[in-house]
Amino acid sequence: MKNTEESFYIKLRVKIQDWIKTDKGKNLKYVNYILVVPDLFYVLWQLLIDDRVSTEFKLKVGLVIAYFVSPIDLIPEAIFGPVGYLDDIGLTAGLLSIMMEDYREIVEEIWAKVNHNNILELVQEIIKNIDNIIGHGIWNRLRTKFGI
């Protein structure tokens, strides 16, 4: 990782780890998904700058990154804290699910640099539970808006 990426990655990971120690964090049902937020963001960033990824997918990745860092989204982090990442997680999983069809090796290669769990299983689990995680209405809005 480069210094800027590493700094953001570390800050985000520390923020989430500190939050998990709080009463809210300890009791959240989907805390295991929030723990991988920095890893998911890292994968998105690497896909955006990878020459092996088509311009079409880079555009979609760029839009998801913009949504990820935007203070204005359907579940804003500024109001809800790390719980606000749940919509970002769903959107990222939806995009990665589609990208795995053409770019599975690349996604797995990038993921392996930051996490040793199976990314495909994680993405499938998130997609399977997304209605329970963020609600059917929010998920449908995100899917429609981002063409997922």
What domain range includes position 104? Answer: 3-146
Question: Binning pLDDT at 50, 70 and 90, where does residue 72 land?
Answer: confident
Residue 5: the pLDDT is: 63
pTM: 0.88
Q: Residues near 123 by Cβ (< 8 Å), separated by ≥ 6?
A: 93, 96, 97, 100
Domain total in the chain: 1
pLDDT tens-digit map of 12-67: 888 888 988 888 888 888 888 999 999 999 999 999 999 999 999 999 999 999 99
Residue 61: the pLDDT is: 96
